């Protein structure tokens, strides 16, 4: 799970499902990283370390704790998250604990009662220090009290103070994280430990300790990229163990294009420089805060550690292009924008399902239907039917364009009717590669002749439900698109 299914934050899965191993590129967007899953992974991780003290377990615990778990609770009001998405242009899936007490509310609360579980482990005369966080441990079998003072994770210094009833010989095993490379130091009572093992291993200090002894560590953090395994150009940005999230604006932002190519909403980064530290610059006086410099298209992006960014639209993963790759992609985007512009010129009316005022404006009606929101975009779905009244232009042939999302968790089948006459049927299969897409349904001329508006109805069929509809556009089909 950790090496073949994990996102940068330590989360896993999409819509409560695991995908194929090493296939994360098409999973990052949407409802990813369920809190219950991370809770269970951490519970298993702590147990596995107790059985076999391998540093790989401590490395995963640090990643999941300081990113997903801390990022799953709103510090303003204590709400926890069902999903803690990792994609591009996403928001936290906070739960209203008085209205929606899901499984992830329960494990979400318990996650934050377990911050201290797994910091220390003891066996015989050895004490493992796995996590660096302000804490105190009573090692009763050895008569030792150890107090940890640290400004980690945003700082870099750790100080351990020992209190003993009497001098005693034992081993402190201090984790040297895999990300703590050049500049990592350990001192005992001010004296530097001359030989330390490589990053991703334990510094074992065995000596006869006395009360008042101190151990100090310096944990240097550097900026780096982590790619998804199936796309070397889709990256998360990390500072030491901390995933950095890009702040994209208010939580309730409005989409002015219905895909991830709206660079004004979710920029991409263009650079030939492979060293992220050359284009992601620290913000003075704000530990962990950074800003891109000279690489953002169409804007630069402010970053902070993921666990500190709440009630905002954000991105964890980013598309990174070389200048040559971007030239090609820019031409594709220009062509897509021109296509969208022509579509808008052909539009007679556009209805936004799932938003109260637009639904009122177009007389939304229905039975067993409800609003939804996926990837920040409002929609309406249903188990029976729903309808909208849309204006038409009888002087031109008409067509209806509906927008769907190709990631329904089970098969959806439904008919599309205009004034009671079927003009199309739609099938959306489960578990396909997720993307928003449009379907155009021609409307027979006799259905619009002499009319100013028609009723467009979505009707469930074959015992299935209606997929989420994210947009309805009535267009002139002869507008030269």
Look at residue 434 and tell me if it is in a domain.
Answer: yes
Look at residue 30 and tell me if it is in a domain.
Answer: no
In a shared domain, residues 269 and 356: no
Residue 468: give the domain boundaries: 346-476
pLDDT digits (tens, 9 = 90+) for 77-100: 889 999 999 998 889 999 887 887
CA distance 229 to 23: 7
Look at residue 314 and tell me if it is in a domain.
Answer: yes
Look at residue 360 and tell me if it is in a domain.
Answer: yes
CA distance 183 to 205: 19
Residue 195 has pLDDT above 70, yes or no: yes
The last residue of a domain, from among 275, 307, 342: 342
Look at residue 354 and tell me if it is in a domain.
Answer: yes
Q: How many CB atoms lie within 10 A of CB 144?
A: 20
The last residue of a domain, from among 291, 325, 342: 342
Range in 6-20, 218-232, 388-402, 414-428 with the lowest mean pLDDT: 6-20
Q: Which residue has the tokens 């971007």?
A: 326
pLDDT digits (tens, 9 = 90+) for 113-169: 999 999 999 999 999 999 999 999 999 999 999 999 999 999 999 999 999 989 999
Distances (CA, A) of 461 to 66, 88, 425, 440: 46, 34, 9, 19
Residue 277 has what pLDDT?
Answer: 95
In a shared domain, residues 300 and 365: no
In a shared domain, residues 373 and 259: no
- Rounded to the nearest 10 degrees, the angle between the axes of helix 103-111 and helix 35-51 is 50
Look at residue 430 and tell me if it is in a domain.
Answer: yes
Contact of 322 with 98, CB cutoff 8 Å: no
Residue 36 has what pLDDT?
Answer: 95
Backbone phi, psi, residue 42, to 5°:
-70, -40
In a shared domain, residues 324 and 402: no
Give the bridge partners for 378, in sequence order.
Answer: 373
Cα dihedral 312, 316, 319, 323 in deg (nearest 10): 80
CA distance 294 to 279: 7
Look at residue 280 and tell me if it is in a domain.
Answer: yes
How confident is the model over 281-299, as a mean pLDDT? 94
In a shared domain, residues 351 and 461: yes
- Sign, Cα dihedral of 32, 37, 42, 48: negative
Residue 259 has what pLDDT?
Answer: 42
Under the banding of pLDDT at 50, 70 and 90, the label for residue 253 is: low
**Total count of domains within the chain:** 2
Mean pLDDT, the chain, whole residue set: 93
- CATH number of domain containing 397: 2.60.120.260
CA distance 382 to 367: 8
In a shared domain, residues 301 and 356: no
Under the banding of pLDDT at 50, 70 and 90, the label for residue 261 is: low
Q: How many CB atoms lie within 10 A of CB 467?
A: 25
pLDDT digits (tens, 9 = 90+) for 415-463: 999 999 999 999 998 655 667 899 999 999 999 999 999 999 999 999 9
In a shared domain, residues 330 and 371: no
* Three-state secondary structure of the chain: CCCCCECCCCCECECCECCCCCCCCCCCCCCECEHHHHHHHHHHHHHHHHHCCCHHHHHHHHHHHHHHHHHCECCCCCCEECECCCCEEECCCECCCCCCCCHHHHHHHHHCCCCCCCCEEEECCEEEECCCCCEEEEEHHHCEEEEEEECCCCCCEEEEEEEECCCEEEEEEEEECCCCCCCCEEEECCEECCCCCCCCEEEEEEEEECCCCEEEEECCCCEEEEEECCEEEEEEEEECCEEEEEEEEECCCCCCCCCCCCCCCCCEEECCCCCHHHCEEECCCCCCCEEECCCEECCCCEEEEHHHCCCEEEECEEEEECHHHHHHHHHHHHHHHHHHHHHHHCEEEEECCCCHHHHHHCCCEEEEEEEEEECCEEEEEEEEEEEEEEECCCCCCEEEEEEEECCCCCCEEEEEEECCEEEEEEEECCCCCCCEEEEEEEECHHHCCCCCEEEEEEEECCCCEEEEECEEEEEECCCCC
Token pair listed for 294: 């000279």
The last residue of a domain, from among 310, 342, 374: 342
Contact of 378 with 355, CB cutoff 8 Å: yes
Contact of 349 with 476, CB cutoff 8 Å: no
In a shared domain, residues 352 and 319: no
Beta pairing, strands 168-176 & 126-129? parallel
CA distance 279 to 296: 10
pTM: 0.82
In a shared domain, residues 318 and 355: no
Considering only CA atoms, which of 164, 312, 326, 320 is closest in space to residue 228? 320
Measured in whole angstroms, the distance separating CA 292 from the mean position of its chain's CA atoms is: 20
In a shared domain, residues 291 and 412: no
Under the banding of pLDDT at 50, 70 and 90, the label for residue 345 is: very high
CA distance 7 to 14: 11
Contact of 7 with 32, CB cutoff 8 Å: yes
In a shared domain, residues 359 and 468: yes
Residue 320 has pLDDT above 70, yes or no: yes
Contact of 262 with 256, CB cutoff 8 Å: yes
In a shared domain, residues 267 and 363: no
Look at residue 312 and tell me if it is in a domain.
Answer: yes
Angle made by CA atoms 399, 405, 408, in degrees to the nearest 5: 125
């Amino acid at each position: 799970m950790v090496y073949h299914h994990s996102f940068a934050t330590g989360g896993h899965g999409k819509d409560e499902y695991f995908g194929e191993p090493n296939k994360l590129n098409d999973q990052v967007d949407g409802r990813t990283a369920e809190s219950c899953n991370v809770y269970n992974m951490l519970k298993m991780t702590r147990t596995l370390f107790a059985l076999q003290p391998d540093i790989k377990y401590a490395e995963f615990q640090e990643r999941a704790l300081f990113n997903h778990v801390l990022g799953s609770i709103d510090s303003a009001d204590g709400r926890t998250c069902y999903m803690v998405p990792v994609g591009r242009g996403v928001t936290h899936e906070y739960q209203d604990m008085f209205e929606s007490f899901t499984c992830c509310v329960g494990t979400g609360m318990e996650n934050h009662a377990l911050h201290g579980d797994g910091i220390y482990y003891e066996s015989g005369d050895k004490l493992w220090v796995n996590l660096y966080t302000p804490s105190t441990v009573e090692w009763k079998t050895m008569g030792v009290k150890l107090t940890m003072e640290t400004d980690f994770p945003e700082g870099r210094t750790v100080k351990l103070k020992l209190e003993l009833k009497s001098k005693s010989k034992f081993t402190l095993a201090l984790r040297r994280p895999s990300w703590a490379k050049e500049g990592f130091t350990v001192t005992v009572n001010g004296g530097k430990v001359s030989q330390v093992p490589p990053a991703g291993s334990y510094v074992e200090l065995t000596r006869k300790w006395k009360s008042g002894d101190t151990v100090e560590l310096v944990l240097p953090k550097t900026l780096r990229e982590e790619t998804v395994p199936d796309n070397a150009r889709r990256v998360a940005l990390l500072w030491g163990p901390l995933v950095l999230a890009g702040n994209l604006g208010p939580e309730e932002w409005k989409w002015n294009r219905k895909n991830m190519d709206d660079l004004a909403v979710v920029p991409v980064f263009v650079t030939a420089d492979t060293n992220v530290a050359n284009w992601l610059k620290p913000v003075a006086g704000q530990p962990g805060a950074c800003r891109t410099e000279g690489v953002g298209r169409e804007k630069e992006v402010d970053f902070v550690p993921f666990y500190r960014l709440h009630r905002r639209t954000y991105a964890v993963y980013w598309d990174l292009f070389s200048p040559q790759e971007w030239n090609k992609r820019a031409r594709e985007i220009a062509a897509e924008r021109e296509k969208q512009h022509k579509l808008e010129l052909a539009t007679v009316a556009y209805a936004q399902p799932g938003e109260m005022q637009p639904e009122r404006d177009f007389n939304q009606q229905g039975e067993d239907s409800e609003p939804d929101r996926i990837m920040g975009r409002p929609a309406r779905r249903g188990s029976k039917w729903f309808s909208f009244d849309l204006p038409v232009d009888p002087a031109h042939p008409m067509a209806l364009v509906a927008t769907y999302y190709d990631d329904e968790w089970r098969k959806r089948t439904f008919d599309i009717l205009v004034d009671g006459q079927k003009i199309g049927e739609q099938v959306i299969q489960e578990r396909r590669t997720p993307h928003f897409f449009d379907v155009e349904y021609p409307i027979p001329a006799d259905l619009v002749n002499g009319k100013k508006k028609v009723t467009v109805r979505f009707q469930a069929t074959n015992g299935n439900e209606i997929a989420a509809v994210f947009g309805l556009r009535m267009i002139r089909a002869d507008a030269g698109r």
